[in-house]
Structure 1
């Protein structure tokens, strides 16, 4: 991977230093490290259907993803991980963003390719410290700003050097990445972003809850609009309230332009959420705001965007006038039947502009999930009703995940 050469010297030096004087580990020879390693296999088959106003035909996609990998047992505190991914489609009546079928709505799961998903060296020889060098999965906090976009068939990964340290009440996470491998796959001109990405994350416990401080600097070659500097803080906690459990989350972030971004970005992010749960039934009410001034808006280009602002994925890019998302979320356990433990969830969103008085519409999301130790069955539906922005959209997903 050419991009890894940009951090190769630093990564090699860090791992070599970490390995020096490492304590004895389970594996004492290369043969033992291989024999005691673990095979990684997971697969997903998913049907996705999209009906969107403005298109004569609905999109239907039946895609399969297979990931196969191997991780050695640690030798001198160091393990090696290699994992490949193959994505194909059995029904291809959709715009994958690379297949040219623009007569259909987008389902962002390009197919018919195979590539490395992860290829990394992992060192844990230092106390409470993990150093990872290479192509890797990175999910910070709830993935609101940095995630792996695991909902899509080809996840987002990073060619990076990452250092993690965790104490009893404090955790630090520092990453330098030279390339972001995006969900659009290796055949897309948008399949990778090269540049300089620095991610700093510090979390600690306090009497009020868990506090997270973060500083994310993105300087992306050829994607100036995605080049931003974001600094913020989040507080989250859950507290017993008699037979109930209360929870809350508060967050604030400030974003400015970075790198080659010539725009004057000066945008705020705020989150206020409160919830109650009883007998595992959860209800949460929240308001999330990504600010905009009519020209530029708060952006989260490395986030797992599907998890936020509605599953219909209408707001993957923040409108220039920003977005205010007022939402109500309900989750209900359905118990265990046979080998499967099931849960149901519903989320209602009301969308409006931050700048001006425009409304963006409403959305209802529904989900049913049944799990065993290795298998997950998912049925999911999103219904977005437009109001002055975008178009009415309905999406349905049926998927089977299996890992062993």
Structure 2
């Protein structure tokens, strides 16, 4: 039996034991353990989620297209709350529907573009939580989403979600101050559940994720964050795929309304940390304004990931697909940094939600033109259970560093 299977069984045993212990403590306020267990089950829930996606990638750097037809099946069990305790167990399976004419990062088809949806089955979440009105603590494998997910997110766009193993505490849910701190010792990446020659499925290490949100009235929130990542070296891969993602990042962001304009702004500074072999200090900043009228919303923004000593500002835990174009040409900032001037328009056509976005990319320290991108999306929530989406990205560049690419996605999702 391989190590990943042993890890999964051990992890399930630990979580099961913790959940049983939590229910036992909670049962002290009840008539007995059996009554507490009955309440945990009767007030719990079971959900099923199927997401099918067809993804086509036509990239000029490859002679062949990628055609990925994948299905993610998710089964989620959540208990009711007993004595302040509750728990959750969630399983994901990703499988191919038809042929795998794409580079999943583990199937060896390197003559085609990457679609990072490797097949496999794993425990996506498994946690125990204790909470009061103002304080909560959660231990286990869990989803952690901070703010817009620019620095810490779940990458839920990919079929295998990114989740975190560790301990998380949150304070001040009902107040104007909200503190969120997590110690993470393992990051379950989208490339899992198993290691491949291209990417490690997990990053182990000592990682601290802290964020403080301060509501300055109804329409203004100021946040500060510290992300101290110390990722262990994985000898089978280059340092840039493991230890060089060790970073110390400090920053602030703001969101609020200034008259009719919804404003977002952020600044962060970053340096190498842990056993990283890099040596750099880089800055990040962004400013965005948005307005809505007659059901149409528009936004204009400018985002910069700086660079130093040939190293671009890193966001290794971000939901990067949300930012700098859906063609995913800039999931990692280039060594000379990147500037993204973007605008977007969204609205509804009957029941269908539509969006169009434009990006103009250039280098941060040389102003070299990287290219432009158009992104289009239409989402039709047919019912509460079933939705469809058609999405398109077109990246064009005159630079020798980046190839032209087009991507098309068709997604069907059923939630029961």
Q: Does TM-score exceed 0.5, indicating one fold?
A: yes
Q: Which residue of 1 aligns with 2:125?
A: 118
**Conserved? CA contact 2:203–2:231, under 8 Å:** yes
Task: Report deviation, 1:98.
Answer: 0.4
Equivalent of residue 233 in structure 1, options 252, 259, 264: 252
Q: Which residue of 2 aligns with 1:84?
A: 91
Separation (CA, whole Å) in 2 of partners of 1:318 and 1:149: 17
Q: Which residue of 2 aligns with 1:291?
A: 306
Cα offsets for 1:194-250 (capped at 9, x unmatched):
0011000000111571111100010000122100010000011135x5xxx321111
Task: Report deviation, 1:21.
Answer: 11
Dislocated runs of 4+, deviation >3 Å: 1-5, 19-25
Equivalent of residue 138 in structure 1, options 133, 139, 144: 144
The structure-2 alpha-carbon separation of the partners of 1:21 and 1:59, relative to structure 1 and needing over 3 Å to count, comes to closer
Unaligned runs of 5+ in 2: 1-5, 234-241
Task: Report deviation, 1:110.
Answer: 0.6
Separation (CA, whole Å) in 2 of partners of 1:88 and 1:289: 37
The answer to whether structure 1 residue 365 and structure 2 residue 375 are counterparts is yes
Task: Report deviation, 1:373.
Answer: 1.6
Q: Which residue of 2 aligns with 1:311?
A: 326
* Equivalent runs, 1:209-248 vs 2, <5 Å: 209-222=220-233, 223-239=242-258, 241=259, 245-248=260-263
3-state SS of paired residue (1:96)? coil
**Conserved? CA contact 1:22–1:77, under 8 Å:** no
Matched residues, number = 388
Calculate the TM-score normalised by the size of structure 1: 0.90
Q: Which residue of 2 aligns with 1:179?
A: 186
**Conserved? CA contact 1:23–1:77, under 8 Å:** no
Task: Report deviation, 1:279.
Answer: 2.4
Q: Which residue of 2 aligns with 1:379?
A: 390
Calculate the TM-score normalised by the size of structure 2: 0.88
Cα offsets for 1:90-140 (capped at 9, x unmatched):
1310000000011111111111x111111110112x222221110011111
The two structures, once aligned, show a CA RMSD in angstroms of 2.5
32-41 vs 191-200, which moves further: 32-41
The structure-2 alpha-carbon separation of the partners of 1:362 and 1:24, relative to structure 1 and needing over 3 Å to count, comes to farther
Equivalent of residue 343 in structure 1, options 335, 344, 353: 353
3-state SS of paired residue (2:195)? coil
Task: Report deviation, 1:188.
Answer: 2.1
Equivalent of residue 160 in structure 1, options 149, 157, 166: 166
Q: Which residue of 1 aligns with 2:295?
A: 280
Separation (CA, whole Å) in 2 of partners of 1:54 and 1:21: 61
Unaligned runs of 5+ in 1: 336-340
3-state SS of paired residue (1:29)? helix
Equivalent of residue 328 in structure 1, options 332, 338, 343: 343
Cα offsets for 1:174-202 (capped at 9, x unmatched):
00010000001122241100001100000
3-state SS of paired residue (1:54)? coil
**Conserved? CA contact 2:27–2:82, under 8 Å:** no
* Equivalent runs, 1:3-18 vs 2, <5 Å: none
